[in-house]
């Protein structure tokens, strides 16, 4: 009974999320919007690369950078999306109070709303990668993809980001505009320190040490190994040194690390969310509005 | 125009600028976020250039471009979207009823936003420059001021025009502003010399004042900036001056037309207000 009810909450909140994301315009414009934004973001890096190299994109580092940038959309959008649910419902639509007292599992509501964010982001990531393969010689060969590694790393990586988003969602109960800054700040830390668009070995030693503790670093490595194993081999061969700083780490170790991250984040996030929820109720912040 | 009308409008400019000037001191943590957040993108792009062993100027361009994003974000979220938000919280009818020019309201928003954003951008630029050892070579301080001023007048003129056009929007206002972030960073060459887009693409992007403004600033403050320039400095200043006039006139007409349209279609207030 509880499972059926939770699934219904998940489905209905996903549908609500879809309406909120997409029904402000017609489907064609929404599709254009969903394609233009990620492609433009990616083209910035492409042009930067072309300015320096003169346009040679059939290169291992280009594919490394391109795929990392495309996959990072999940980190930025999902992390932001999960937290934004609280902020948007409370500040903008002023419906959080009603949602909160409804007879349903609040976590399922947030997860349902986030699921649609993941779906929309997945479309953007897919289009970006397709554009890279077709127009820019990004080296992804469907026959050489390590599908089990890619699928498992995607599931674990997205799970850890969603769970982290839940903790930040809890924090947004207690903050006003700060939740946007906290999200973007954390996503920014991952962008710089997790080897998203450049290998972590270029970072100063202290920063590289931090990056080795971040799950996104391992997620990026696992996704690349799954999606473009040839590129990772070529990058190591042409550089002549351990350019990614991860050559000695096995696939199994990476997956194990991601699995542990999901477990640790899950415990921490539920804890943070419950504490924040308790404080928010105690201080009357569930229906708080700050005009943002 | 009587003197009292002029004074009233100047007071309106001051009054609308005031919350923007004072707002940042009320919640300093927001100001810190606004300064620090662009540094992550700057760091990411600067390390890409470093890994590619790029020229030092390119890293400087990233730092300057990253700092200048504050102005574009201010245009999108605090100018263009502002009248839409004012409508949502019920202030818009009060603005329209006040015995002042609507342009004074927009000018006040621009003055306050410009002041606040200039401080943020300067701090981001300073921190980025120190972190990545960026070397500046200021050839002409006077020209720097001239370029900055005309760029900002043209840019905020564009923001005032956007504010008018956004007046009738609903939820699409948020999405439209979100859509104009990355594509404009790309088209205006925030992180690379815009001339690499090709002449016609760069010429098209020059309708956004920050495109020419950034290109001109690079020529003034970076040793190799002239080689990466899209157009000569004097041409860019002349074009920017033209854009100042064009956007000011357009914003005035757009505001008048959209207000008329809003009144006739009943879209200046929300159903429950």
pLDDT value at residue B50: 94
Q: What average pLDDT is seen over chain A?
A: 88
pLDDT value at residue B177: 87
- Cβ–Cβ < 8 Å for A121, A224: no
Q: What is the mean pLDDT of residues A55-59?
A: 83
B2 to chain A, any CB pair closer than 8 A? The answer is no
pLDDT value at residue B164: 84
Whether B169 is covered by a domain: the verdict is yes
In angstroms, the CA B222 to CA B58 distance is 10
- Per residue in A95-146, pLDDT (tens digit) is 888 888 888 888 899 889 988 988 999 999 999 999 999 999 898 888 889 9
Proportion of chain A above pLDDT 90, given as a percent: 38
pLDDT of A189 > 70? The answer is yes
- Cβ–Cβ < 8 Å for A90, A99: no
Mean pLDDT by runs of 10 across the 273 residues of chain B is 80 90 75 84 94 93 95 89 82 86 88 90 94 90 95 93 81 83 94 95 96 96 90 96 95 87 80 62
DSSP B21-69: HHHHHH-HHHHHHHHHHHHHHHHHHHHHHHHTT--HHHHHHHHHHHHHH
Q: What is the mean pLDDT of residues A200-219?
A: 92
What is the ipTM score, two decimals? Answer: 0.89
State which residues form the domain around B203: 3-265
CB distance A40–B193 less than 8 Å? no
Whether B272 is covered by a domain: the verdict is no
Q: Which residues of A touch B (CB under 8 A)?
A: 24-25, 33, 36-38, 40-41, 43-45, 47-53, 61, 65, 176-178, 180-181, 184-185, 187-189, 191-192, 196-199, 202-203, 291
B37 to chain A, any CB pair closer than 8 A? The answer is yes
In angstroms, the CA B189 to CA B230 distance is 11
Provide, for chain B, the percentages of residues in helix, strand and coil under a 3-state DSSP scheme, each rounded to the nearest 5.
80, 0, 20
In angstroms, the CA B64 to CA B183 distance is 18
Question: Which of A37, A191, A197 is opposite residue B179, by nearest beta carbon?
Answer: A37
CB distance A199–B172 less than 8 Å? no
Q: Could you give the C-alpha distances from B27 to A38, A95, A168, A288, B21, in angstroms and in order?
A: 32, 26, 20, 17, 12
Torsion, CA B70, CA B76, CA B77, CA B79, rounded to 10: 100
Q: What is the mean pLDDT of residues A46-59?
A: 90
| Residues ≥6 apart with Cβ < 8 Å to A66 | A42, A45, A46, A129, A132, A136, A138
More confident residue, A164 or A66: A66
Angle at A251 between CA A245 and CA A254, to 5 degrees: 70
In angstroms, the CA A147 to CA A223 distance is 10
CB distance A192–B89 less than 8 Å? no
A189 min Cα distance to partner chain B (Å): 7
pLDDT value at residue B44: 94
Lookup: tokens for B199: 């002449």
Nearest to B213 by CA among B110, B75, B68: B68
In angstroms, the CA B237 to CA B209 distance is 10
Nearest to A84 by CA among A179, A15, A188: A179
- Cβ–Cβ < 8 Å for A155, A261: no
Query: Sign of the CA dihedral A259, A260, A261, A264?
Result: positive
Lookup: tokens for A182: 């906290």
pLDDT value at residue A3: 85
In angstroms, the CA B102 to CA B116 distance is 22
pLDDT of A177 > 80? The answer is no
pLDDT value at residue A291: 64
CB distance B40–A191 less than 8 Å? yes
pLDDT value at residue A55: 82
Whether B236 is covered by a domain: the verdict is yes
- Per residue in A260-270, pLDDT (tens digit) is 988 888 899 89
B44 to chain A, any CB pair closer than 8 A? The answer is yes
Q: What is the mean pLDDT of residues A281-287?
A: 85
B65 to chain A, any CB pair closer than 8 A? The answer is no
| Residues ≥6 apart with Cβ < 8 Å to A12 | A112
Q: What is the mean pLDDT of residues A164-193?
A: 83
- Report the first-to-last Cα separation within chain B, whole angstroms: 34
B120 min Cα distance to partner chain A (Å): 15
Whether B125 is covered by a domain: the verdict is yes
């Amino acid at each position: 009974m509880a499972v059926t009810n939770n699934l219904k909450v998940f489905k209905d909140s996903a549908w609500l999320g879809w309406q909120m994301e997409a029904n402000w315009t017609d489907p064609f414009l929404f599709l254009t919007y969903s394609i233009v934004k990620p492609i433009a973001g990616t083209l910035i890096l492409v042009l930067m690369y072309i300015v320096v190299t003169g346009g040679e994109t059939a290169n291992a580092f280009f594919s490394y950078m391109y795929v990392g940038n495309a996959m990072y959309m999940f980190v930025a959008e999902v992390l932001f999306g999960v937290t934004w649910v609280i902020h948007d419902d409370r500040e903008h639509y002023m419906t959080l109070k009603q949602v909160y007292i409804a007879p349903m599992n609040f976590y399922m509501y947030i997860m349902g709303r986030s699921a649609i964010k993941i779906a929309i982001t997945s479309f953007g990531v897919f289009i970006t990668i397709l554009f890279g393969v077709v127009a820019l010689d990004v080296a992804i060969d469907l026959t050489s993809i390590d599908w089990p590694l890619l699928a498992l790393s995607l599931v674990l990586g997205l799970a850890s980001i969603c769970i982290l988003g839940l903790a930040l969602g809890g924090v947004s109960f207690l903050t006003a505009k700060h939740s946007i800054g906290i999200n973007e700040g954390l996503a920014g830390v991952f962008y710089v320190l997790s080897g998203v668009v450049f290998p972590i070995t270029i970072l100063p030693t202290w920063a590289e040490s931090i990056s080795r503790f971040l799950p996104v670093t391992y997620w990026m490595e696992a996704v690349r190994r799954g999606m473009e194993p040839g590129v990772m081999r070529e990058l190591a061969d042409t550089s002549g040194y351990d350019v990614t700083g991860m050559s000695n780490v096995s696939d199994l170790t990476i997956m194990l690390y991601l699995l542990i991250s999901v477990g640790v984040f899950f415990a921490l996030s539920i804890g943070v969310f419950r504490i924040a929820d308790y404080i928010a109720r105690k201080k009357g912040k569930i229906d708080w509005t700050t005009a943002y | 125009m009587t003197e009292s009308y002029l004074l009233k409008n100047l007071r309106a400019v001051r009054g609308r600028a005031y919350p923007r000037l004072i707002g940042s001191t009320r919640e300093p943590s927001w100001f810190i976020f606004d300064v620090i957040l662009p540094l992550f993108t700057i760091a990411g792009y600067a390390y890409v250039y470093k890994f590619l062993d790029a020229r030092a100027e390119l890293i400087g361009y990233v730092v300057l471009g990253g700092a200048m994003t504050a102005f574009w974000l201010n245009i999108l979220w605090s100018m263009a979207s502002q009248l839409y938000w004012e409508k949502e919280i019920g202030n818009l009818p009060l603005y329209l009823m006040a015995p002042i020019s609507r342009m004074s309201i927009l000018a006040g928003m621009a003055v306050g936003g410009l002041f606040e954003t200039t401080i943020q951008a300067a701090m981001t630029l300073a921190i980025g420059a120190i972190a990545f050892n960026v070397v500046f070579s200021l050839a002409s301080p006077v020209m720097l001021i001239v370029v900055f001023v005309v760029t900002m007048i043209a840019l905020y003129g564009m923001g005032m025009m956007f504010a008018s056009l956004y007046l009738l929007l609903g939820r699409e206002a948020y999405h439209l502003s979100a859509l104009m972030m990355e594509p404009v960073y790309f088209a205006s060459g925030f992180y690379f010399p815009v001339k690499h887009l090709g002449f016609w693409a760069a010429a098209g992007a020059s309708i956004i004042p920050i495109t020419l403004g950034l290109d001109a600033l690079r020529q003034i403050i970076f040793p190799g900036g002239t080689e990466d320039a899209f157009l000569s400095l004097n041409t860019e200043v002349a074009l920017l001056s033209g854009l100042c006039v064009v956007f000011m006139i357009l914003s005035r007409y757009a505001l008048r037309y959209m207000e008329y349209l809003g009144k006739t279609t009943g879209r200046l207030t929300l159903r429950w207000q």
